[in-house]
A and B are shown apart, each in its own frame.
Chain A
Amino acid sequence: KNEVEQSPQNLTAQEGEFITINCSYSVGISALHWLQQHPGGGIVSLFMLSSGKKKHGRLIATINIQEKHSSLHITASHPRDSAVYICAAPLYGGSQGNLIFGKGTKLSVKP
């Protein structure tokens, strides 16, 4: 069983819709990462958060450490938001490089 689970696996939305992508994890973590992978394969780090909420433009990430759950929200979605969104968590006490990645959520925003 993957220790970081994302849902949904695929998501199709109309332009302007509010998007929510969920990430649940079963391991103790110090912080959770949200990444965006563009169709060409390049990956951009969106957020790293260990508590509460972070906002950058139309993107909002929240985390609930007690419930071991994080969400990524996109407000007023746009076709250029179409990408794969990946959450990842480093393990407490694990090897320093050991990020555990979810399988990603593929978002397609239609005009």
Chain B
Amino acid sequence: DGGITQSPKYLFRKEGQNVTLSCEQNLNHDAMYWYRQDPGQGLRLIYYSQIVNDFQKGDIAEGYSVSREKKESFPLTVTSAQKNPTAFYLCASSMRDGQETQYFGPGTRLLVL
């Protein structure tokens, strides 16, 4: 079945630790996105990528980093510089760009110990 997978479902981070969230898609989509969701807030864009080896900062990129070495994969690293990382993280993809339907993964919930 085609779709987007994210792992892990839950992730715990210690102070000063970098953690990486996985996002994989087999939809052959060019564009991939990372969003953060906080209670009572709309989704906010962290990073997006429209093509392999290229990515752009979204509205809240500080404290995060990404890579896009393969079309299928768009991992997100939450660095120790992100002081308030507790949130629900959603990965999405679309055929080409944000003007098209986006398909979402199941999400990763990140908690700080």
Contacts and interface: CB of A to CB of B under 8 A. Distances in A.
Nearest to A95: B56
A56 B21 CA distance: 34
A41 B102 contact: no
Contact of B42 (A33, A45, A95, A102): A102
B31 interface: yes
B25 interface: no
Interface residues of A, number: 26
Interface residues of B, number: 28
A82 B86 CA distance: 25
A72 interface: no
Interface string A27-63: 0001101010000111111001000000000000000
A86 interface: yes
Interface of A: 2, 4, 30-31, 33, 35, 40-45, 48, 86, 88, 90, 95-104
